[in-house]
Amino acid sequence: MPSETITFLGTGGARFMIINQFLASGGLWLNLSGTEILLDPGPGCIVQATKRKLKADKLSAIILSHRHLDHSADINIMAEAMTQGGFKRHGWLFAPADALETEPVIFSYLKDYLEGVEILQEGKSYSVGNVSFTTPVRHVHLVETYGMVFSTDKHTFSYIADTRYFDSLCQNYSGELLIINVVFLKPHSPAENPLLPIDHLSVPDAEHIIRELKPKVAILTHFGMSMWRAKPWQIAEKLSHQTGVRVLAARDGMRFDLSKLDNT
Ligand SMILES: [Zn+2]
């Protein structure tokens, strides 16, 4: 039986982590019963993917949650790889309008190699091969950003991409599995450091969201420096005790098999 897996090409997030690569970046590679989708190809995606023998020409789509560099830096090379250097017109790109308009993250000649581009919008549904997904709500982030709820014939899982906390996150991302980008250990206020982008979730935000959504499993990822120093696997263990939900911290290269959700 074909399996459903999610490979974490990297688990680092935000500027200082990414420019130092203490943790890798590169996004998530979904293989859902044979439909392969790349989510948020950040810097190093091509390196992490080829190292793990993941074949970009098997991808049916690349999805960008938003245009920030840690989510989109390798979009061009991955589009080139997905289309075998442009020799095979193939694959779709899904992205918010502001990733494609005034200063597009993808070169126009590469866009021509694709089967098509679809614009992500709040409250819409999309499909790729055997997979459908929705972008339920626009996030509160510096640029236009969406998370996704994916459904296959076997499983549902949600991805909460970068955002500041807001209440409707707790209503829009139910699923058996929750993947959540947690950049900060502690909440920050703009008064502390006006240069720090505060539009990210912290551990207390994640705790609240996990409690409300009650997935079977939650996976923390996209760690900034404060999270990395605090040892994400210890945070995850603490959150498991606090919430009663099995919480894991993603590791670079980790492959999560969705069939694990069936016996939870
Ligand atoms: Zn961002």
Q: Share the mean pLDDT of the chain.
A: 95
For residue 193, what pLDDT is reported?
64
Residue 2's pLDDT band (cuts 50, 70, 90) = confident
Give me the numbers of helices (H) and strands (E) for the chain, helices first please. 9, 15
For residue 172, what pLDDT is reported?
98
Note whether 121 and 53 are within 8 A (CB): no
Query: Residue 151 C-alpha to ligand 1 middle, in angstroms?
Result: 24
Q: pLDDT by residue (tens digit) across 213-224?
A: 999 999 999 999
H helix runs in 107-264, sequence order: 108-111, 169-172, 203-213, 225-229, 232-243
Q: pLDDT by residue (tens digit) across 134-159?
A: 999 999 999 999 999 999 999 999 99
Query: Residue 237 C-alpha to ligand 1 middle, in angstroms?
Result: 26
28-32 sheet: strands from edge to edge: 116-120, 92-96, 59-63, 35-39, 28-32, 4-8, 255-257
pTM of the model: 0.96
Query: Residue 162 C-alpha to ligand 1 middle, in angstroms?
Result: 5
Q: Which helix (H) or strand (E) holds 178?
A: strand 177-184
For residue 192, what pLDDT is reported?
64
- Does position 110 have pLDDT exceeding 90, yes or no? yes
Query: Residue 66 C-alpha to ligand 1 middle, in angstroms?
Result: 7
For residue 98, what pLDDT is reported?
96
Query: Residue 234 C-alpha to ligand 1 middle, in angstroms?
Result: 24
Query: Residue 95 C-alpha to ligand 1 middle, in angstroms?
Result: 14
Note whether 147 and 173 are within 8 A (CB): yes
Pairwise CA distance, residues 94 & 90, whole Å? 13
Measured CA distances, 228 to 163, 196, 202 (Å): 19, 17, 13
User: Which of 193 and 252 is assigned the larger pLDDT?
Assistant: 252
For residue 190, what pLDDT is reported?
64
- Sequence-separated (6 or more) residues with CB below 8 Å from residue 169: 137, 160, 163, 209
Q: pLDDT by residue (tens digit) across 5-51?
A: 999 999 999 889 999 999 999 999 999 989 999 999 999 999 999 99
For residue 263, what pLDDT is reported?
74
Note whether 94 and 63 are within 8 A (CB): yes
For residue 191, what pLDDT is reported?
63
Query: Residue 30 C-alpha to ligand 1 middle, in angstroms?
Result: 20
Q: Could you say which DSSP state residue 85 is in? A: T
Query: Residue 190 C-alpha to ligand 1 middle, in angstroms?
Result: 17
Query: Residue 197 C-alpha to ligand 1 middle, in angstroms?
Result: 9
Pairwise CA distance, residues 97 & 143, whole Å? 10
252 CB neighbour count, 10 Å cutoff: 16
Read off φ and ψ for residue 216, nearest 5 degrees: -70, -40
Q: pLDDT by residue (tens digit) across 176-204?
A: 999 999 999 998 766 666 666 679 999 99
